[in-house]
């Protein structure tokens, strides 16, 4: 059972190259003056917090790594205007420190995480970020032979990919690609 909760924001900075000590000072100034100056540090404040007789769990959620947020785009523009050309991405995540009476089960942690983030745009960070790189390799694209096979090609890819096209969709896309665009879709 969760008996108390503390939170903090975490700034994850993507750099093209190392910052000089002067530029690091500018970045610290930007982040501390914009947010709570007394709560800016290079390490998590939550890691050090303890409560007698209680277990603790930290859950971190933030933007999906495969997408740069609008907030990051604005933050990077501000950094670059301040001469921090090395900064190529800056994202905010939220960290939750949960104090509990006993050890939480994995499903309980997952249920909590589901309540505090938008799974369409955010994800749970199971470990501290060291990079914005993802290990996801996009599939190679290929052509669907609508020009050669017509509607049959779309029916096959519909089953294979689970598009849930109905008859009207299949007719529409067959006509669109064969007669209007005159090329195979990818």
Residue 133 is assigned to a structural domain of this protein? no
Question: What is the average per-residue pLDDT within 84-104?
Answer: 95
Same domain for 121 and 39 = yes
Residues 107 and 166 in one domain: no
> What pLDDT score was predicted for residue 85?
97
How many domains does the chain divide into? Answer: 2
Residue 135 lies in a domain: no
pLDDT, residue 53, reads 82
Residue 15 is assigned to a structural domain of this protein: yes
Q: Answer yes or no: is pLDDT of 95 > 80.
A: yes
Q: Is the domain of 109 the same as that of 168?
A: no
Which residues, including other chains, have CB under 8 Å from residue 123's CB and lie 6 or more apart? 61, 62, 63, 64, 65, 117
| Same domain? 8 vs 86 | yes
Determine, yes or no, domain membership for 7.
yes
On the question of pLDDT at 34 being above 80, the answer is no
Q: Which of 56, 53, 144 is nearest to 95 (CA)?
A: 56
Q: Are residues 77 and 154 in the same domain?
A: no
**Percentage of the residues of the chain whose pLDDT score is greater than 90:** 72
Beta strands in the chain, from DSSP E residues, in sequence order: 2-15, 55-63, 87-100, 122-125
In this structure, the answer to whether residues 17 and 89 fall within a common structural domain is: yes
Q: What is the DSSP letter of 37?
A: G
What distance in Å separates the CA atoms of residue 184 and residue 138, rounded to the nearest whole number?
20
Using the predicted structure, report yes or no on whether residue 64 has a pLDDT greater than 90: yes
Asked if residue 23 is part of any domain, the answer here is: yes
- pLDDT-based confidence at 114, cuts 50/70/90? very high
Same domain, 121 and 172: no
Query: Do the domain assignments include residue 131?
Result: no
pLDDT of residue 35 exceeding 90, the answer is no
| Residue 121 binned pLDDT confidence (cut-offs 50, 70, 90) | very high
Host domain of residue 86: 2-125
The answer on 88 and 6 residing in a single domain is yes
Task: Kindly state whether residues 106 and 152 are assigned to the same domain.
Answer: no
Residues 76 and 166 in one domain: no
């Amino acid at each position: 059972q969760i008996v108390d909760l503390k939170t903090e924001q975490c700034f994850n900075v993507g750099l093209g190259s190392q910052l000089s000590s002067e530029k690091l000072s500018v970045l610290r100034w930007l982040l501390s003056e914009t947010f709570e100056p007394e709560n800016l540090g290079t390490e998590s404040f939550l890691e050090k917090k303890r409560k007698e007789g209680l277990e603790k769990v930290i859950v971190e959620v933030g933007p999906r790594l495969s997408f740069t947020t609008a907030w990051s785009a604005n933050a990077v523009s501000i950094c670059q205007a301040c001469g921090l050309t090395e900064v190529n991405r800056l994202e905010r995540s939220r960290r939750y420190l949960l104090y509990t009476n006993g050890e939480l089960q994995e499903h309980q942690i997952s249920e909590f995480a589901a309540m505090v983030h938008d799974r369409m745009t955010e994800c749970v960070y199971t470990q501290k970020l060291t990079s914005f790189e993802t290990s996801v390799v996009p599939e190679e694209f290929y052509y669907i032979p609508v020009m050669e096979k017509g509607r049959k090609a779309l029916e096959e890819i519909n089953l294979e990919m689970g598009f849930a096209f109905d008859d009207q969709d299949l007719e529409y896309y067959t006509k669109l690609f064969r007669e209007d665009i005159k090329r195979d879709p990818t």
